Chains A and B, each alone.
Chain A
Amino acid sequence: DQQVKQNSPSLSVQEGRISILNCDYTNSMFDYFLWYKKYPAEGPTFLISISSIKDKNEDGRFTVFLNKSAKHLSLHIVPSQPGDSAVYFCAANLPNDYKLSFGAGTTVTVRA
């Protein structure tokens, strides 16, 4: 049973524009959320995280928004760059749990 869902398998965006990636979760007990980026033949690389006590976290071009009532989070990348072309995974933690529950991933393609 997939508790973290990324319903858009792919996203194409023009260079310089905003990329918005969405993630929904079903378990209201999740209290920590992370975004990872993955290039082919490489492991996932941590991008940004957010605790459930916050609704926004920003790091450079990356901003994550959390809407707990909707059990929804999103990652905004502004401006999008060609090097951002990768698979992006949303992940979530339960309290006092090391296990990361991953979404299926969204493949982002940034067009020149």
Chain B
Amino acid sequence: DTEVTQTPKHLVMGMTNKKSLKCEQHMGHRAMYWYKQKAKKPPELMFVYSYEKLSINESVPSRFSPECPNSSLLNLHLHALQPEDSALYLCASSQVQVNTEAFFGQGTRLTVV
């Protein structure tokens, strides 16, 4: 199994809503990532979890709250988002070592209205 599964595929939410994005992998990877990709731009790193602990936060606003309940799951909790937060949110996983490839999910297309 070399898949990273993200749900939902699409999400429309209002600025006062609370929603969560979910990511799951069963490759035994202990590093998991959230990336954000705006249209016609490259993916930008948001968070990195290593052994279920947050190791990197790329100065992401607190309206984005990551959570890693176990070694297979990664969540991104969303609250009070702005329309400019509309983007493709990508989850990825890898072995906990540098110089290794990350495997990406298909992403959640988020629209904030």
Residue from B31, B42, B45, B103 within 8 A of A89 (CB atoms): B42
Once A42-B107, A104-B41 are accepted as A-B contacts, the answer to whether A98 and B56 lie under 8 Å apart by CB is yes
B90 touches A95 (CB 8 A): no
C-alpha gap A105/B50 in the complex (Å): 27
Give the residues in chain B near A89, CB-CB below 8 Å: 42-43
Contact of B99 among A4, A32, A102, A105 (CB under 8 A): A32
A96 touches B4 (CB 8 A): no
Contact B104 A43 (CB under 8 A): yes
- Which size bracket describes the interface of A in this complex? 20 to 34
Q: Is the CB of A103 within 8 A of B107?
A: no
Provide the main secondary structure of the chain A interface: loop
- Interchain nearest-CB distance for A50 vs B (Å): 10
Provide the residues of chain B in CB contact with A44, threshold 8 Å.
43, 90, 104
State whether the Cβ of A70 lies closer than 8 Å to any Cβ in chain B. no
Output the nearest chain B residue to A96 by Cβ-Cβ distance: B98
Query: Using an 8 Å CB-CB cutoff, how does the interface string of A43-68 with B read, 1 for contact, 0 for none?
Result: 11110010100000000000000000
Cβ distance B30 to chain A, nearest Cβ, rounded Å: 11
**Can you show 24 pairs from A to B with CB atoms below 8 A apart?**
A4-B42, A32-B98, A34-B101, A36-B104, A41-B107, A42-B107, A43-B4, A43-B104, A46-B101, A49-B99, A49-B101, A89-B42, A93-B99, A98-B33, A98-B48, A98-B56, A98-B98, A99-B58, A102-B42, A102-B43, A104-B41, A104-B42, A105-B40, A105-B42
Which residues of B come within 8 Å of A, CB atoms? Answer: 4, 6, 31, 33, 40-45, 48, 50, 55-56, 58, 90, 92, 94, 98-99, 101-107, 109
